[in-house]
């Protein structure tokens, strides 16, 4: 049979199904129908545990009157959660082979996620970061093996750039991990300056590694992955607020005091979802410069989205007298993350597709309006929900008028 009669090899995830071992070569950035795999979705869901733990400790710290400790601990631990998730997602976008070694290594990373989540209460309450450090090490060193496998597969002369990039990633991640273990295992809680130095070192690895040749991450796939994780953290906010309302009603029967908080919280979360997914972003992710700034900026998007749920829990506890904070402080715990979410989504997403001053100012003005709701008394959360819903209505109206 001649070569012309041989059917072309299948492409994409379907071609890899059932293969026990494949050569880990870079996937094409132009691959069609690139979507999240079941393993990636499972990976994301396991991160819910860690996000819930961090949000839960934030609630307890603020409700007990220790907002500084709660916020700093939350931001520190969420960095580890976010950074491990982000590194996996970008690697998978470029190199996902979906074979047995890849799947097993990803499952090992999930074990690291669960160890980190189990260590969150001890890190928050006692400043003991050892279990968090061990879980983080499991996730990161498993990723190193993936990069080494990608480097080993890039054997041809035309793949020298890809091999260099993979080796740089492996070295950079390993050095950072050694630094974290040296910092956390002997001493527990790191000084603030040491954490900032190590976080900066982590953030520097991808730009340095891809300086010569970028990885072949897929814009549609990356946009989808970030969108799915946004849904997860917003869903965690809904879950946390629902449990808080249920517990308050069971223990205090204060349904009348909680309905405005529940209604405002739902309006905020629904509006957050609508605003984030109002426009597609994949066309903007044309190069590493835009993509890295966009991806790094999502630290603020994810932390604020998850913190909305924590804030709603605090508002519920304050309404029934279980939190040692004022009404204004409880409202702050909702309005600040909600305003941060609106502004950062505008900065990363919306401003690239808006036309005219009115469209550009809608979300920044709404963010200021949400903050102003802090001073509206006991119904501040409800008013903040109305402002968020109003931003959606205005945005849809302006966009509709543009195309009429």
pLDDT tens by residue, the chain, 404 residues: 334 333 333 344 444 444 666 778 888 888 888 889 999 999 998 888 889 889 888 988 888 888 888 898 899 999 999 999 999 999 999 998 888 999 999 999 999 999 999 998 888 888 888 888 899 999 999 999 999 999 998 877 678 888 999 999 999 999 999 998 888 877 667 788 888 999 999 999 999 999 988 999 999 999 999 999 999 999 888 887 787 777 767 666 667 778 888 889 999 999 999 999 988 888 788 788 888 899 999 999 999 999 999 999 899 888 888 778 888 999 999 999 999 999 999 999 877 777 788 888 999 999 999 999 999 988 899 999 999 999 999 989 887 776 54
- Cα separation, 60 vs 215, in Å, equals 41
DSSP single-letter state for residue 322: -
Q: Where are the alpha helices (DSSP H) in 277-326?
A: 288-319
Write down the pLDDT at residue 252.
63
Query: What pLDDT is recorded for position 157?
Result: 64
**Which CA distances in Å does 45 have to 26, 59, 110, 233, 362?**
26, 21, 10, 10, 33
Tokens of 169: 């990633």
pLDDT of residue 4: 39
pLDDT at position 283 is 78
* Of 348, 263, 272, the residue nearest 306 (C-alpha): 272
Q: What is the pTM of this model?
A: 0.88
Q: Taking the domains of the chain in order of start, what are their residue ranges?
A: 34-209, 219-403
Reported as type and span, the H/E element at residue 171 is helix 160-184
Q: What is the DSSP letter of 27?
A: P
Q: Which CA distances in Å does 168 have to 206, 275, 329, 338, 366?
A: 9, 37, 46, 38, 43
DSSP 64: T
- Which structure tokens are listed for 360? 């550009």
How many C-beta atoms surround the C-beta of residue 8 within 10 A?
5
pLDDT at position 33: 80
* Residue 28 near residue 8, CB atoms below 8 Å: no
Q: Buried (b) or exposed (e) across 149-178, using 16+ Cβ within 10 A? A: bbbebbeeeebeebbbbbbbbbbbbbebbe
Residue owning tokens 């189990």: 118
Angle at 248 between CA 242 and CA 251, to 5 degrees: 140
* Fold (topology level) of 219-403: I/LWEQ domain (1.20.1410)
What are the distances in angstroms from CA 384 to CA 30, 225, 381?
42, 29, 5
């Amino acid at each position: 049979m001649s070569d012309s009669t041989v059917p072309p090899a299948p492409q994409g995830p379907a071609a890899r199904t059932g293969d026990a071992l494949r050569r880990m070569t870079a996937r094409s950035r132009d691959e069609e129908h690139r979507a999240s795999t079941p393993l990636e979705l499972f990976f994301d869901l396991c991160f819910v545990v860690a996000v819930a733990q961090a949000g839960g400790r934030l609630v307890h710290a603020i409700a007990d009157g220790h907002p500084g400790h709660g916020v700093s601990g939350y931001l520190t631990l969420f960095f580890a959660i976010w950074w491990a998730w982000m590194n996996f997602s970008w690697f998978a976008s470029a190199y996902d082979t979906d074979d047995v070694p890849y799947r097993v290594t990803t499952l090992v990373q999930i074990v690291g996620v669960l160890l980190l989540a189990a260590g969150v209460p001890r890190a928050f309450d006692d400043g003991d970061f050892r279990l968090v450090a061990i879980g983080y090490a499991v996730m990161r060193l498993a990723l190193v093996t993936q990069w080494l496998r990608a480097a080993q597969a890039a054997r041809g002369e035309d793949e020298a750039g890809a091999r260099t990039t993979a080796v740089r990633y492996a070295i950079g991640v390993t050095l950072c991990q050694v630094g974290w273990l040296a910092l956390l295992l002997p001493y527990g809680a790191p000084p603030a300056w040491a954490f900032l130095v190590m976080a900066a070192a982590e953030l520097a690895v991808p730009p340095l590694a891809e300086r010569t040749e970028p990885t072949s991450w897929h814009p549609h796939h990356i946009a989808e992955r970030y969108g799915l994780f946004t849904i997860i953290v917003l869903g965690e906010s809904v879950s946390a607020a629902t449990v808080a309302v249920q517990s308050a009603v069971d223990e205090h029967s204060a349904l009348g005091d909680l309905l405005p908080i529940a209604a405002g919280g739902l309006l905020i979360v629904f509006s957050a979802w609508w605003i984030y997914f109002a426009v597609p972003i994949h066309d903007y992710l044309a190069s590493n410069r835009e993509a890295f700034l966009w991806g790094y900026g999502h630290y603020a998007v994810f932390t604020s989205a998850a913190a909305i749920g924590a804030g709603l829990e605090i508002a519920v506890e304050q309404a029934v007298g279980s939190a040692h904070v004022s009404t204004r402080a409880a409202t702050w715990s909702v309005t600040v993350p909600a305003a941060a979410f609106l502004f950062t989504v505008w900065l990363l997403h919306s401003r690239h597709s808006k036309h005219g001053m009115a469209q550009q100012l809608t979300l920044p003005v709404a963010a200021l309006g949400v903050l102003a709701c802090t001073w509206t008394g006991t119904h501040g959360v409800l008013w903040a929900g109305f402002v968020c819903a109003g931003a959606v209505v205005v945005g849809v109206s302006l966009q509709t008028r543009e195309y009429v």
